[in-house]
Amino acid sequence: MLYLIGLGLSHETDITVRGLETVRKCKRVYLEAYTSILMAADKESLEKFYGKEVILADRELVEGGTDEILAGAEVDDIAFLVVGDVYGATTHTDLVLRAKEKGIKYEAIHNASVMNAVGASGLQLYQFGQTISLVFFTDSWKPDSFYSRIMENRKIGLHTLILLDIKVKEQSIENMARGRLIYEPPRYMNIATAAEQLLEIEEIRGEKAYTPNTPCIAVSRLGSPSQTFKAATLEELVNYDSGEPLHSLIMLGRQVHDLELEFLYQFCEDPVAFKKFVEEDQEYFKPPPYVPPPDDADDDL
Amino acid sequence: MLYLIGLGLSHETDITVRGLETVRKCKRVYLEAYTSILMAADKESLEKFYGKEVILADRELVEGGTDEILAGAEVDDIAFLVVGDVYGATTHTDLVLRAKEKGIKYEAIHNASVMNAVGASGLQLYQFGQTISLVFFTDSWKPDSFYSRIMENRKIGLHTLILLDIKVKEQSIENMARGRLIYEPPRYMNIATAAEQLLEIEEIRGEKAYTPNTPCIAVSRLGSPSQTFKAATLEELVNYDSGEPLHSLIMLGRQVHDLELEFLYQFCEDPVAFKKFVEEDQEYFKPPPYVPPPDDADDDL
């Protein structure tokens, strides 16, 4: 049996009771260690907590070594641990498909992920549109397909959750070219870089999907003891020191309710100024005023 | 201190280890008991598992009795348990705001909710648009504002998660009018009713936000031992017996990737027919073909 077990966001003890009981009975325990990190725990602390060896599964192993992970899973119990919830990345769905092909049963034990825990910002989850990912730009590579997706969300008034790049166990182009297995230190995008990159693309595209004054919520270390929210405009966030990783960013949509706004004020330096920016931003993509149908309309309702 | 603790989806043991440790040290433990239910547990089994009394908090208490819930929370630890994750409903955000007003500290201990666990369907979470709620229609009340929101999602190719109505501790209009505190048996919307209501509104509105042939995924008892997915068209789901609650429904958007589709086939009776319906449905809201800009375009990129 393959158990996919979500670890939640931060502590060893964020695993569910059922998840922990399952890990403890498994023969091998893999920890997916490249799409996210557990903020207040590491391999060693998890091993101590579980009383079991934990095998780090990097990209090569998860995407190329599914046979190794699934070996013996027809008879033994194998745990595959994922930070956040189980189905956060395409590769996890793929692992399940590979298990099914081999006739191996699987079960998911879910947990919190950034996708639902961002509700802690006070913004209602049902008002979010599609989620986007922002990767580290290089001089020659500035992928901007996210821009149209933010535009689509904001046109219909929805908030956008922006997931920020994480580079773990990456090789430099030079080391890759020379076949040297030397890895760069891990990098986690912070809020200032994200805000800069977003503004850079807005300047290039110029379609006003958002502006320097668009209100955002910086979400730092969600679910950890030092969790912090900061409500400010995109331009203000360029100078924001967001501290230790992990971070994500929410760009507000037009449909902000009073209760959401009231909740956000606790994260503002100047709630009056923030409210003004929200109201100004709501003028973008405002639907045209309602025009009643002509008298001779012959609807079937 | 006020602790808001997510319980996850089904079992007593779906609570996190940290959540359980926190519940056990709290002076009073409230269970929010009207926006959802825990499928494989009840008040008694939770009390046994926690070794503590659990106070059921109905709508009246949560929305009108926050003083009672928060009494003494300046000095004592109070737990407020929520099925799924903590910030699933507006009223929970409101409770936090009331706590803040009283100078009471709070902490959220997150868990899985339908909002992220639907990833188990194989559909990628970042491809979902806004979430909608479908309430039980009556002869005189058929609220259809969800229709425009589905249209908005599908126009940009996104999936829609549709949460189905739950009626717990509701009074009949007659009993309410007479002031009798007699409650109707709980009702949970099933997939067939949801599909019927969706088609009824499509027939009235007729704007083809979706059609009887639009592919959907019925999600039943998500996260419980009897979890079931069913991939079928809306029309087919009218005759689907989805069994015990809880249910929700996903309506597909145009942007279905091959990996998502491959995953869905395991939930189909006839994958070939389902694929055909998906392809046909992708013709709706298809963006116009790309036309290259004229030669004299003078972009700054």
pLDDT tens, residue by residue, B256-270: 999 999 999 999 999
Please state whether A156 falls in left (phi above 0), alpha (psi between -120 and 50) or beta.
alpha
Q: Check if the beta carbon of residue A221 is closer than 8 Å to that of residue A245.
A: yes
State which residue of chain B sits closest to A151, comparing Cα positions: B156
If you search the block for the tokens 């996919």, which residue do you land on? A4
The rounded distance, in Å, linking the Cα atoms of A239 and A276 is 20
pLDDT at B297: 54
Q: Check if the beta carbon of residue B41 is closer than 8 Å to that of residue B9.
A: no
Helix (H) or strand (E) segment spanning residue B109: strand B106-109
State which residue of chain B sits closest to A11, comparing Cα positions: B18
Residue B134 CB partners (closer than 8 Å, separation 6+): B146, B162, B163, B164, B165, B189, B194, B197, B198, B249
Residue A233 has pLDDT above 70, yes or no: yes
Residue A300 has pLDDT above 70, yes or no: no
**A113 labeled part of a ligand binding site:** yes
Mutate to test the interface with A, among B11, B90, B96, B116 (most CBs of A within 10 A): B116
Q: Check if the beta carbon of residue B220 is closer than 8 Å to that of residue B242.
A: yes
The residue length of chain B stands at 301
Span A205-223, mean pLDDT? 97
Confidence tier at B172 by pLDDT (50, 70, 90)? confident
pLDDT digits (tens, 9 = 90+) for A167-183: 987 888 888 888 888 88
Residues of B in contact with A17 (CB under 8 A): 12-17, 20
Confidence tier at A89 by pLDDT (50, 70, 90)? confident
Handedness of CA B252, B254, B255, B259 (dihedral sign): positive
CB contact under 8 A, B129 and A129: yes
Residue A297 has pLDDT above 90, yes or no: no
CB contact under 8 A, A14 and B13: no
Question: CB-based contact (8 Å) between A11 and chain B?
Answer: yes
DSSP string, B238-284: TT----SSPEEEEE--S---HHHHHHHGGG-S-HHHHHHHHHHHTTT
What phi, psi does A136 have (nearest 5°)?
-60, 125
Q: Check if the beta carbon of residue B260 is closer than 8 Å to that of residue B124.
A: yes
Mean model confidence pLDDT for chain B: 93
Report the gap between the CA of B232 and the closest CA in chain A (Å).
20
pLDDT digits (tens, 9 = 90+) for A124-151: 999 999 999 999 999 999 999 999 999 9
Residue B296 has pLDDT above 70, yes or no: no
The rounded distance, in Å, linking the Cα atoms of B150 and B252 is 10
Span B106-110, mean pLDDT? 96
Name the DSSP class of B294: P
End-to-end CA separation in angstroms for chain B: 54
The rounded distance, in Å, linking the Cα atoms of B51 and A129 is 41
Span B279-300, mean pLDDT? 79
State which residue of chain A sits closest to B122, comparing Cα positions: A93
Question: Chain A 241-260, CB below 8 Å of chain B: which residues?
Answer: 259-260
pLDDT digits (tens, 9 = 90+) for B97-107: 999 999 999 99
Helix (H) or strand (E) segment spanning residue B153: helix B145-155
Report the gap between the CA of A179 and the closest CA in chain B (Å).
31
If you search the block for the tokens 């209009």, which residue do you land on? B173
Compute the count of residue pairs across chains A and B with CB atoms less than 8 Å apart: 170
pLDDT at A79: 98
Span B129-141, mean pLDDT? 96
Q: Indicate the residue of A17, A94, A97 with minimum beta-carbon distance to B15.
A: A17
Of B89 and B46, which is predicted with more confidence?
B46
Of B172 and B230, which is predicted with more confidence?
B230
The rounded distance, in Å, linking the Cα atoms of B12 and B47 is 10
Output the CA angle B298-B299-B300, nearest 5 degrees.
Answer: 120
Q: Are strands B160-164 and A2-6 parallel, antiparallel or unpaired?
A: unpaired
CA distances from A159 to A35, A81, A131, A250, B96 (A): 23, 30, 9, 7, 21
